[in-house]
Amino acid sequence: RKEVEQDPGPFNVPEGATVAFNCTYSNSASQSFFWYRQDCRKEPKLLMSVYSSGNEDGRFTAQLNRASQYISLLIRDSKLSDSATYLCVVNPRGWGKLQFGAGTQVVVTP
């Protein structure tokens, strides 16, 4: 079983719509959680950290469910510029040894 699993997609989303997807992780002792965004052939960039109580950053909402060991990302009012691969990232220990999922591709269409 992979340590971090994501639905690869693609999720085809009309502009203005809402899209949500999850990621599951295997290590119940994981301490830190993030969503990174990676555009085609570019480097990953932090989208947002995921906090236990859930958090929002503009149109993006992240949730953590420790009991079921998954995190989620919801994008509201999708823009064309939201088209990217969203990487679920988990840190199982107190060090910077991040574990990446393979990513969920989102394609926002006009």
Partner 1 sequence: DTAVSQTPKYLVTQMGNDKSIKCEQNLGHDTMYWYKQDSKKFLKIMFSYNNKELIINETVPNRFSPKSPDKAHLNLHINSLELGDSAVYFCASSPTRISTDTQYFGPGTRLTVL
Per CB under 8 A, 95 contacts partner 1: yes
Minimal distance in Å, beta carbon 106 to partner 1? Answer: 14
Judged by CB under 8 A, the stretch of 9-17, 20-28, 43-51, 58-66 that binds partner 1 is 43-51
Minimal distance in Å, beta carbon 49 to partner 1? Answer: 7
Q: Could you give the CA distance from residue 110 to residue 100 in angstroms, rounded to a whole number?
A: 30
Per CB under 8 A, 103 contacts partner 1: yes
